[in-house]
Structure 1
Amino acid sequence: MPIEVDGEFIEVDQDGYLKNLQEWTPQIASAIALQENIQLTEDHWEIIYLLQAFYGDFQISPAMRALVKYTEKKLGQDKGKSIYLMSLFPPSPAKIASKIAGLPRPANCL
């Protein structure tokens, strides 16, 4: 079922992940976040852009453990904690944040 953003319909899979990653825009991210009952703040955007950098480096979406370690390495110990990420992207930060960032579903997330 596609999502509508600014009058355009964007194709997503049955779980809400973009079918065409090149279609991602901040407006699409905001629309997906609203579907997940998340109001994006600067803290959310920091993680979204971090995830996109991870994907650019490794060509995969990180599972939770890799996301926590990468976040700690790039943003420090305070933000590199699963509880912090959970507060931003409940109930599954790796899955929800990847979806909002326009990335594929992480392979190791159920």
Structure 2
Amino acid sequence: MLTFGDRIVAVDARGYLLDPADWDRTLAEAMAAADGIRLEAAHWQVLDLLRDYHGEHGQAPAMRLLVREVARVLGSERADSRALYRLFPQGPAKQAARYAGLPRPTSCI
């Protein structure tokens, strides 16, 4: 369980939501703030992309697929793993999926 403001949400041992219905933008901002990150427009573009991808495919993409999806959806100039690491320094696929309220990508260590 994690407490964010006046909310208590169930998470697994790695901090991923157990109930995706608990997710909202305020929770994502609180999760990021706990990691010392302020979510900006560039973060939200990736988070929205992840949520859309998950809605279509039923899973969160691992890093290589995330980079390809960023290129496809947001443009090749944004599809740089270093840029994604600047946004999500604990690992773009894992950390962004956690903030997006999605399960941990299966192929991420």
TM-score scaled by length of structure 1: 0.94
Distance 2:10 2:23 in 1: 11
1:12 aligns with 2:11: yes
Q: For residue 55 of structure 2, what is the aligned residue in structure 1?
A: 56
Runs (4+) off by over 3 Å: none
Q: How does 1:47-86 map to 2 (within 5 A)?
A: 47-86=46-85
**TM-fit CA distance, 1:83:** 1.2
Shift of residue 34 of structure 1? 1.5
The reply on whether 1:29 has 2:57 as its aligned counterpart is: no
Alpha-carbon distance in structure 1 between the residues aligned to 2:62 and 2:50 = 11
Paired with 1:28 and 1:67, the residues of 2 have a C-alpha distance of 22
Structure 1 vs Structure 2 CA RMSD = 0.9
**Pairwise CA distance, 1:108:** 0.5
Number of residues paired by the alignment? 109
1:45-104 deviations in Å (ceiling 9; x for gaps): 111001000101110011000000001000101111111111100131000000000000
Residue 35 of structure 1: how far off its partner (Å):
2.1
1:8-47, Cα deviation, whole Å (9 max, x unpaired): 2011111000000111011110111122221111111111
CA distance in 2, matches of 1:87, 1:6: 27
Percent of pairs identical after alignment? 37
Structure 2: stretches of 5+ with no match in the other structure: none
C-alpha distance in 2 between matches for 1:108 and 1:61: 10
SS at match of 2:3: strand
